[in-house]
Every structure is written in structure tokens, then in C-alpha cells.
């Protein structure tokens, strides 16, 4: 909003989403719409809304993420829960990208930011948090695949780790504020025209290993 973008804020829980929207001082450049990235129907509804109301989507931030399952091991993990984690953390961004890339292609512009995690980096990966880590490794792979397929259309797709952030997921001991965590996401969302990076993994605007 501060950068003059019109932002569409989404959440599954409509009451929570509308409250958050109102707390942002009724900014005129902010619109709320419900979204469950795990549902084809919900994604199709928000896609229709964006097409009707705006006719374009310049930036897609795939931020929704769940289940940092540090209490699990790959050997003993609850597979039903792990499956649902993939549904949200991997297929959610995939579903959203499939929905909006055609609209971006039509306008010849797009920036997609997949909010990933260092936990998904294969380089140095260890045991623990299996569903979350595998889902984010999958998201990183998806980032590379999509980036390679859309670069001719002036669409850049990158993955960003926000660092350890004080959110519901990160907890109060995390070393970064939400503002600090979002800086790198905003950077990737607003990469300027030209030879911007595509299909890369960043933290704080600096390339990190997959």
C-alpha cells in the first residue's frame, strides 16, 4: 500500500480478515476477499473477483503456510496431516499460480513470491519437521519449474525465506519482527523491469542455497 499498490488481503476466516483490514485504517488501497488456498472452488472465486474488479494481478504473494511440525520425525509422521501440509504449503501456491499466471501473461507482467523457508533447503537438510520441510522443498522446486516456464512473459517467480519471525508460527522468541520478515518479500515482489532474478531463493534480498 505504501508503494501505491492496491492490495487484496485474504484469509480463510472472514471475520479475522475483515478485522485486520479495518485495523489497517480503512486504507482505500486495501480490499478484502476470503480465500482458502486448499480449495479449487475458493481459488476460482477469488480469481473471478480479481478479474472482474481489477482485470489484472501484477503481484502474487503465496504466503499461506502451516504445520511447522518440529515434534514429528519422518519415520513416525502422521501421514494424513503431512498430506494436508503438502496441500496447503505446496499445492496452495501451485493452485494460485495456475489461476493467476494466465492473467499475468495477458498483461505481460508478473511477480510471484513463494514464501518458503530455510527448512526446505536440501543443502544441509537434517531430520525433524518432516511435513513442513518436505513441503517447502517442494515449493522451492515448484519455484524453479514455474520460473523457467514463464520467464518469456516478463513474469519472475522467486522463493523467499523471511527468517525466524515473531508470528503465530514463529512464536514470541523469534529474532525478527513482522516488518523485518516482510522486507525481503516486498523486495522480491517489486523487482524492477530488466534482468531481474528468476527462479532463485532469497533471504533479505540475498541469494541463498536451495
Ligand X SMILES: NC(=O)c1ccc[n+]([C@@H]2O[C@H](COP(=O)([O-])OP(=O)(O)OC[C@H]3O[C@@H](n4cnc5c(N)ncnc54)[C@H](OP(=O)(O)O)[C@@H]3O)[C@@H](O)[C@H]2O)c1
**Annotation says 109 is catalytic:** no
The single residue among 1, 13, 14, 74 that binds ligand X, judged by CB under 6 A, is: 13
How many whole angstroms separate alpha carbon 26 and alpha carbon 119?
A: 36
How many whole angstroms separate alpha carbon 154 and alpha carbon 209?
A: 24
Q: CB-wise, 8 or 165, nearer to ligand X?
A: 165
Return the closest-CA partner of residue 185 out of 47, 35, 49, 5. 5
Q: How far is the CB of 74 from ligand X (least distance, A)?
A: 18
Identify the residue whose cell numbers are 492496491.
Answer: 6
Assess contact for 137 and 125: CB atoms under 8 A: yes
The single residue among 31, 151, 154, 167 that binds ligand X, judged by CB under 6 A, is: 167
Provide the grid cell at 48: 473471478
From residue 53 to residue 72, what is the string marking binding to ligand X with x (rule CB under 6 A)?
----------xxxx------
Q: Which of residues 106-125 bind ligand X (CB under 6 A)?
A: 115, 117
The torsion region of residue 157 among left (phi > 0), alpha (psi -120 to 50) and beta comes to beta
From residue 88 to residue 107, what is the string marking binding to ligand X with x (rule CB under 6 A)?
x-------------------
Assess contact for 53 and 106: CB atoms under 8 A: no
Does residue 38 interact with ligand X by CB under 6 A?
yes
Q: How far is the CB of 152 from ligand X (least distance, A)?
A: 28
Assess contact for 64 and 87: CB atoms under 8 A: no
Catalytically annotated residues:
132
Residues that bind ligand X (CB under 6 A): 11-13, 16, 35-38, 63-66, 88, 115, 117, 161-162, 164-165, 167-170, 174
Amino acid at each position: 500500500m505504501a508503494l501505491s499498490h492496491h492490495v487484496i488481503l485474504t484469509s480463510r476466516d472472514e471475520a479475522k480478515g475483515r478485522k485486520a483490514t479495518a485495523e489497517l485504517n480503512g486504507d482505500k488501497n486495501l480490499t478484502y476477499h476470503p480465500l482458502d488456498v486448499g480449495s479449487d472452488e475458493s481459488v476460482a472465486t477469488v480469481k473471478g473477483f480479481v478479474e472482474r474488479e481489477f482485470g489484472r494481478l501484477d503481484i502474487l504473494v503465496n504466503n499461506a503456510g502451516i504445520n511447522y511440525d518440529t515434534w514429528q520425525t519422518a519415520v513416525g509422521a502422521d501421514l494424513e496431516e503431512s498430506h494436508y501440509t503438502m496441500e496447503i504449503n505446496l499445492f496452495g501456491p501451485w493452485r494460485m499460480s495456475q489461476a493467476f499466471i494466465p492473467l499475468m501473461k495477458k498483461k505481460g507482467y508478473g511477480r510471484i513470491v513463494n514464501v518458503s523457508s530455510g527448512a526446505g533447503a536440501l543443502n544441509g537438510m537434517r531430520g525433524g519437521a518432516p511435513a513442513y520441510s518436505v513441503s517447502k522443498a517442494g515449493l522451492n522446486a515448484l519455484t524453479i519449474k514455474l520460473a523457467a516456464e514463464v520467464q518469456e512473459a516478463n513474469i519472475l517467480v522467486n522463493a523467499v525465506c523471511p527468517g525466524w519471525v515473531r508470528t503465530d508460527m514463529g512464536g514470541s522468541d523469534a529474532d525478527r519482527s513482522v516488518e523485518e520478515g516482510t522486507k525481503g518479500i516486498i523486495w522480491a515482489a517489486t523487482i524492477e523491469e530488466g534482468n531481474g532474478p528468476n527462479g532463485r531463493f532469497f533471504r533479505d534480498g540475498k541469494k541463498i542455497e536451495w
